[in-house]
Amino acid sequence: MTDPWPTLDWPAWRATALHLQLMTQVVGKVRLWLAPWLNHGWQVALYVTPRGLTTSPIPGPGFAFAIDFDLIDAALIVATSRGDVRRLTLEPGTIADFHAATMAALAEVGVDVAIDDLPNLVPAPVRFHLDTAPRPFDAAAVRAFHTTLVAVDGVFRDFRTGFLGKASPVHFFWGSFDLAVSRFSGRRAPRHPGGPGLPLAVAQEAYSHEVSSAGFWPGSDAYPRAAFYSYTYPVPPGFADAAVPAPARFDADLGEFVLDYADVAGAADPAAVLLGFLQATYDAAADLGRWDRASLDSPLGCPGVPRAV
Residue among 103, 24, 26, 34 at smallest CA distance from 69: 24
Contact between 46 and 52 (Cβ < 8 Å): no
What average pLDDT does the structure give for the chain?
Answer: 96
Same structural domain, 189 and 278? yes
Domain that holds residue 224: 139-296
Cα separation, 213 vs 256, whole angstroms: 10
What domain count does the chain have?
Answer: 2
Same structural domain, 178 and 282? yes
Inside any domain, residue 308:
no
pLDDT at residue 309, as a whole number: 86
Q: Judge whether residue 1 has pLDDT over 60.
A: no
Q: Judge whether residue 197 has pLDDT over 80.
A: no
Cα separation, 167 vs 203, whole angstroms: 18
Q: Judge whether residue 2 has pLDDT over 80.
A: no
Same structural domain, 188 and 268? yes
Inside any domain, residue 309:
no
Inside any domain, residue 26:
yes
Cα separation, 90 vs 92, whole angstroms: 7
pLDDT at residue 164, as a whole number: 97
